[in-house]
Structure 1
C-alpha cells in the first residue's frame, strides 16, 4: 500500500480544486493507495500539517499529491522530489518551460517518479488507438484532427490553453510519438485552433476551448473529446468519451463511464511505476513538450504568425 500526502487544495482560479474533486476520491477508491495526511486541510480525518516542510519531516508517506496554486506548485514539487518522495502533480506541472525543466532535473536527480496528471491519455479509447497506430493499422500517420471542448463552466483566469490545452496536446503526442516543430494558433470566440507541424511531415489540428450553448450537458463536463487519425492505409476515428452511457436526468445530460475512469487508470499506472522502480508512462518530459507548445501558441496569437520550435526545445528529462 502506497501512503499518500495531499499537498494543497488550490488550482487555476475559479474555485478549482482537483485535489478534492478528482484525486482524493480516486485515491480512496484505489486498492493500492491510502491517504495518510494533508497539507492545507483539517477536515479529512487524517493528520493535518501547516506546511509541506513540516509534513515531509513528520510524515513518511511515499507519494505527495501536489495541488497547490500554480505560482507555488513547481517549488513544492521540487521540494518533495528532493526529499525522496514520488509526486503526482496536478496539471499544469508548472506555468513555464523553465519551471518544468527544473522539476525534470529534480526528478532525474532523485530517481523518484514524477507524474503530471495528464490523465486524458489514459482514456480506454485513446490507449486502444495508440496501440493500433503503433501496430500500423492506419499505415504511416500524416494528420491528426482533435477536438477537446468543455461544456460551460467557469472560464480559467489564465486562459483555456493553459487549463485545457495540455490534455489534447499530450494525447496527440502519445498517439503519434512525433515532436512538434512549428505552432500556428488562431482564436475564434471561445475556441482556440492549434495548427501543428511535427517531424516526418505529420500535421495535427487541435481545437480546444470552453463552449456555451450546451445547457443540456453537465457544466464543466466534456462536450467533445475526439481524434481523427489519417494514415497512408486508412483513417481511424476515436471518441474518447466512450465507452460510456448517456444519462438523462431532470438536471441535464451527462456521460457515465462503464468502467474505470481516466484518473483511476492513471493511478494504476502510477502505482505500477512506484512499485516497479521505473519511470511512469507520462513524466516531466511530456509536461515540458506540452508547455512548450502552449507557450509557442501564445506567441503565435500575439504575432499572428507561426512559431518554430527547435529540436532542443522538445527535449526534457524523464
Structure 2
C-alpha cells in the first residue's frame, strides 16, 4: 500500500448510551490528529438522519455527506469505515463495510451477543480485511507497562487479577452497564492473563439508578490453568472530583507466585480544576490514538489486528454467561476455543 493517508468514512453517531457520540467525541479527534488517516466522508443511518448530525459535520469538515450509509461504502476514496451506529444496525453495517472491501474500526461493543460477534468474525475472516473492535483501554500506558511486567516474569506465574472499573455520573445505558462498560476491564484482564475464561459466576444489580437496566456487576472468572479473576464494573452517582461520565476507579491488582503488581490506570495524570468539576487529564498519546496506530499498522501491512473479532467474541461470551449466571444463581461454563470460534 502507498504512503498516502488512509481515507476514513465516519459512519453513524450512536452508541449504547442515550447521549453517547463516540464518533465525534473520541474517533474524529483521533483521526484528525493522526498523520496516517484523513476523513473523506460522513454517513448517517436512518435512525440518526433526523438530527442531521452527519450533514452538519460533513459541512463543517468540508467532505461529502453520503445520501445513505450504504452509498458511503461505495466511495473508492474510503479505505476505513469508523462504525458508531445504533446496536440494532451494527452487525449489518460492519458486515456490509467488510463485503464492500473496507477495513473497519468498530465502537465498543462489536456486537451485543456472542452469536452476532461470530457472524461478524466469519465475514472478517472471509474477506481478510481488518476488523478492529475499539478495546482501547488496553493501550493505556500504565496497562502497557503492566503487560510488559507480567510477560517479563516480574510477578512470577500470575494466578489472580482483580479489576475495578467504575464510571461516575453520566446517563445510564439502556442496555445495562455490563454491556456498555464491561468490555474494557474484561479485555484488559484477558490481555494480562493470556488465558481463556472457562467459567463465569456473576451477580448483576441495579444499585445507583432507577430504571430497568443493571448499573453494577461483579464477575468471578475462572480461566485456563487455574487462573482466576474478579471484575467489578458499573456506574455510580456523580462525584465532585470526577468529570461527568468520567472514570472514578480504574485499577488492577495482579497476584503471582513471586509478587503482586498494583496498577492504577487513573495515574499518572494532571489534576484539572474547573468551576463545575475537578478532573484528571493524561498528557500524552491517548488510548484511542494508540488504537489508531494499531489500525494503521494492520491495514498497511495487510495483516489482522490485535485486538480482533476473536477478542470481541470471547468478551461477548463472558457477558452472555454472566447474564445467564446472574439469572440462575449458579456458575456457567463457557465453550472451548474451537466451539467459541465457530
Q: Calculate the TM-score normalised by the size of structure 1.
A: 0.96
Asked whether the equivalents of residues 288 and 314 of structure 1 are also in contact (C-alpha less than 8 Å), the reply is: no
Deviation at residue 111 of structure 1 after TM alignment:
0.9
Count residues in correspondence. Answer: 317
Aligned residue number for residue 273 of structure 1: 298
Deviation at residue 285 of structure 1 after TM alignment:
0.3
Task: State the Cα deviation string for residues 279-318 of structure 1 (Å, max 9, x = none).
Answer: 112000000000000001111111111111121477438x
Q: Tell me the distance in 2 between the aligned counterparts of 1:147 and 1:276.
A: 35
Q: Residues 313 and 219 from structure 1, CA distance in 2 versus in 1: closer, same or farther, beyond 3 angstroms?
A: farther
Deviation at residue 214 of structure 1 after TM alignment:
1.5
Q: Of residues 69, 89, 100 in structure 1, which corresponds to 2:86?
A: 69
Deviation at residue 154 of structure 1 after TM alignment:
0.4
Q: Is residue 56 of structure 2 the alignment partner of residue 43 of structure 1? A: yes
Question: Residue 23 of structure 2: SS of its match in structure 1?
Answer: helix
Asked whether the equivalents of residues 228 and 236 of structure 1 are also in contact (C-alpha less than 8 Å), the reply is: yes
Asked whether the equivalents of residues 170 and 238 of structure 2 are also in contact (C-alpha less than 8 Å), the reply is: no
Deviation at residue 215 of structure 1 after TM alignment:
3.0
Q: Is residue 209 of structure 2 the alignment partner of residue 209 of structure 1? A: no
Please show how residues 16-35 of structure 1 align to structure 2 within 5 Å.
16-35=20-39
Deviation at residue 242 of structure 1 after TM alignment:
2.2
Gaps of 5+ in 2: 45-53, 208-214
Question: Residue 235 of structure 2: SS of its match in structure 1?
Answer: strand
Q: Of residues 138, 141, 145 in structure 2, which corresponds to 1:121?
A: 138
Q: Is residue 142 of structure 2 the alignment partner of residue 138 of structure 1? A: no
Q: Is residue 224 of structure 2 the alignment partner of residue 220 of structure 1? A: no
Aligned residue number for residue 179 of structure 1: 196
Q: Tell me the distance in 1 between the aligned counterparts of 2:277 and 2:14.
A: 28
With 218-227 and 307-316 compared, the bigger mean Cα shift is at 307-316
Deviation at residue 3 of structure 1 after TM alignment:
0.6
Question: Residue 229 of structure 1: SS of its match in structure 2?
Answer: strand
Q: Tell me the distance in 1 between the aligned counterparts of 2:255 and 2:155.
A: 7
Asked whether the equivalents of residues 165 and 234 of structure 2 are also in contact (C-alpha less than 8 Å), the reply is: yes
Q: Is residue 173 of structure 2 the alignment partner of residue 156 of structure 1? A: yes
Q: Tell me the distance in 1 between the aligned counterparts of 2:179 and 2:323.
A: 10
Q: Calculate the TM-score normalised by the size of structure 2.
A: 0.90
Question: Residue 74 of structure 2: SS of its match in structure 1?
Answer: helix
Q: Is residue 305 of structure 2 the alignment partner of residue 292 of structure 1? A: no
Deviation at residue 250 of structure 1 after TM alignment:
1.6
Q: Residues 157 and 313 from structure 1, CA distance in 2 versus in 1: closer, same or farther, beyond 3 angstroms?
A: farther
Q: Is residue 29 of structure 2 the alignment partner of residue 12 of structure 1? A: no
Q: Tell me the distance in 2 between the aligned counterparts of 1:59 and 1:39.
A: 15
Q: Of residues 235, 253, 263 in structure 1, which corresponds to 2:260?
A: 235
Superposed CA RMSD in Å reads 1.4
Gaps of 5+ in 1: none
